Amino acid sequence: MSNTIKDLAAGTAGGIAQVLVGQPFDIVKVRMQTSAKGTYSGMLHCAGGILKNVGPLAFYKGTLTPLLGIGVCVSIQFGMLGGGQLVIAGVAAGLANGVVSGPVEHIRIRLQTQSNTNPIYKGPFNAMKQIVSQYGIAGLFKGQAVTFLREATGYGVYFLAYEKLVQREMTQKGIRRDQINPMNSVLYGATAGYAFWGVIYPIDMIKSRMQTDGFTPSTGQKYTSARDCVRKVWRTEGISAFTRGLGPTLIRSPFANGATFLGFEMASRLLYS
C-alpha cells in the first residue's frame, strides 16, 4: 500500500470521527446562524427547542451526507499536505476540499433547516435529485464562492497551527511523530480548530445564509451574492449576526477537531506499522 493511500485512509478515519462527534453541535450552530434575530436567546434555548420539538435524533439530522463526503474531504486535506510550505499547502488543500465540501454542506444544511412537519426533501439523495432537476448541477454548488474563501483561509491556518505544535514537541523532546502522546494530538487538534474558527466564523455564517437562501426570487431568494448578503445582514441585524452560533461552535471545536487528528494519527500509526 502506497503512502498516499495510507494517508487517505487515515484521513477518512479522522473525518468520520469528526462527523460523529461534531454533528449535534453543528445543527445548533446552523439553526442559530440562519434564523431571524431573536428566534433563540442562546444555544441552550436552541438545543432545548430541537430536543423538545423533534427529539434527540434530530441532532444527527443530515448526518448521512457529511458522513459519506467527509472521508473524501478530509482525505483531500491530509493528502495534499505531503510537504512544502504549510500555509500554501493548507490553502491548496482547502480549495481542493471546497469542490467536495461545498455541495456536501449545502445538502446537509438544507436538511438541517427544513421544516419538520412539512419537509421538502426526504433525504440527501432526494434533495440532490430535486435540486439538480430544478436548477441544474450549478444548484448543488450554491454558495460555492464563499465556500472556497472559507476553506482556503481556514485550512491555511488550521494545518499551520497543528503542524507547528507537532513539530515543536518533536524538536523539544527529540522524538518521532509516532511517539507523540495521543492525548497531545487531541490537544493540538483542538487548538488548530480554535484557530480555524477564529479566522473564518463570519465567513461561515455568510455561507450558511447563502446555502439556505432561495434559488430564485420566486422561491424566496433574499441575497443575489455573498457581498449582497454581507450588506443586508450588516444593515438589518448588525455585527452580532456575524458571530451568532459561535458558542456551540467553540464547544464543538475541541471535541470534533481533536477527534479528527486523533483518528488520523492513530490510523496512520496502524497503517505504517
What tens digit of pLDDT does each residue of 38-85 get?
A: 899 889 999 999 888 888 888 888 777 777 666 666 666 666 555 456
Q: Is pLDDT above 80 for 236?
A: yes
Half-sphere exposure for 55 (CA within 13 Å, toward CB): 2
- pLDDT (tens digit per residue) in 125-159: 999 999 999 999 999 999 999 999 999 999 889 88
- pLDDT (tens digit per residue) in 189-201: 889 999 999 999 9
- Do residues 166 and 196 make contact, with C-beta atoms less than 8 angstroms apart? no
Q: How far apart are CA 91 and CA 196, in angstroms?
A: 12
Altogether, the residues listed in the chain come to a count of: 273
Quote the cell numbers at residue 1. 500500500
DSSP label at residue 220: T
The CA-atom distances, in angstroms, between 146 and each of 9, 45, 116, 123, 186 are 28, 29, 28, 25, 29
- Global pTM reads 0.82
Share of the chain above pLDDT 70, in %: 90
- In the chain, the amino acid numbered 214 is G
Half-sphere exposure for 50 (CA within 13 Å, toward CB): 24
DSSP label at residue 118: S
The label of the residue with cell 500554501 reads 88
The CA-atom distances, in angstroms, between 248 and each of 59, 116, 186 are 13, 22, 19
Q: Give helix then strand counts, H and E, for the chain.
A: 10, 0
- pLDDT (tens digit per residue) in 87-121: 777 788 788 888 988 999 999 999 999 888 889 99
